[in-house]
Amino acid sequence: MRPLMSKRHALKAGAFVATVIASEGLTGFLTMDRHAPAFERDPDHDMERRYAQWYIPNAMWGMIIDLSKCDGCVDLAIPRCTAACQEGHFLPTSGYGPNGEIEDAQMVHEYIKVFKVQENSWSEPYFFPRPCQQCIDPPCVHVCPVAAAWQRSGDRMTLVEQERCIGCRLCMAGCPYEVRFFHWEENPRSEDPGFKEAFEMEMPFSINKQKGVVAKCDFCGNQFLGKLPHCVASCHKGALYFGNLLENAVTNNFGETLLVDETISKRNGMRWKEDEGTKPRVFYLPALKE
């Protein structure tokens, strides 16, 4: 009787099965669950990362920016929010000239930047502060080859793990808001008084002293201490509101609290580049002129 399967065929079939199993394993290795920016995800996956536990449960931090209040701080060379951010994060500022113009474009890190925008020649120009939009579906996390750009499971903050970043700058290309900044050289302000303390204590994941890695706004992380981010706390007009979107409340520098849903529907609040599908957590209230 003819054997069911010759030795050669059996070997071939075995090799095929082995290949399938191996490629399954490889795929599993490459798509390690914790790297994927999945929506519903077990928070335990990120536990080996730094700052993974630094979140408050049931929080979704967000910002509302009232464009009619922002005056662009035209009295200053650098707007207050930008300056406070750079001070708080110990960011290099040596790239600025005397009048706030950029002279060395490598040494300027504006995690929040104020633009002067004019939609068309009929409309009045207004000022547009731009922090990281903290997308719910962030492109930077998708394109990062080493998953150094990652989204924390607990409150879904997009963070950068500087110990892992290889400095390819693909996330800078992928970010539609251009809020990611490259540290071209070792942070010259890492010798500043207070740097070490801040690095260890206050808001560890937003301070960087390494060269050749990417860093960005991460809403300061002061929320654990019940504080507002530096930019929000420094705004002399109270144009920036910060808070937990799940609690439906945001607060500005003067303690004014807004209801998120009500404010957004009444004031026609919108998100920047909604068509990119990134679902930002920063809402802009259009400028109203009295």
User: Would you mind telling me the total number of residues written for the chain in this entry?
Assistant: 290
C-alpha distance across the termini of the chain, in Å: 97
Query: Which of 14, 25, 145, 286 forms a contact with another protein (CB under 8 A)?
Result: 145
Q: To the nearest whole angstrom, how small is the minimum distance from the Cβ of residue 126 to another protein?
A: 9
Decide whether 108 or 233 has the Cβ nearer to another protein: 108
Q: How many CB atoms lie within 10 A of CB 43?
A: 14
Within positions 252 to 281, which residues make up the interface with another protein, using CB under 8 A?
273, 276
159, amino acid identity:
L
Cα–Cα distance measured from residue 107 to residue 74, given in angstroms and rounded to the nearest whole number: 22
DSSP code, position 136:
S
Cα–Cα distance measured from residue 92 to residue 209, given in angstroms and rounded to the nearest whole number: 10
Within positions 149 to 188, which residues make up the interface with another protein, using CB under 8 A?
164-170, 172-174, 176-178, 181-186
CB 61 within 8 A of CB 157: yes
71 is a contact residue toward another protein (CB under 8 A): no
Q: HSE of 87 in the Cβ direction (CA atoms, 13 Å)?
A: 12
Cα–Cα distance measured from residue 4 to residue 35, given in angstroms and rounded to the nearest whole number: 45
Decide whether 31 or 289 has the Cβ nearer to another protein: 31
Decide whether 44 or 119 has the Cβ nearer to another protein: 119
Decide whether 59 or 72 has the Cβ nearer to another protein: 72
Decide whether 152 or 244 has the Cβ nearer to another protein: 152
The footprint of another protein (CB under 8 A) covers 27, 29-31, 35-36, 99-102, 105-106, 108-110, 113, 115-121, 125, 128, 130, 139, 142-148, 164-170, 172-174, 176-178, 181-186, 211-214, 273, 276
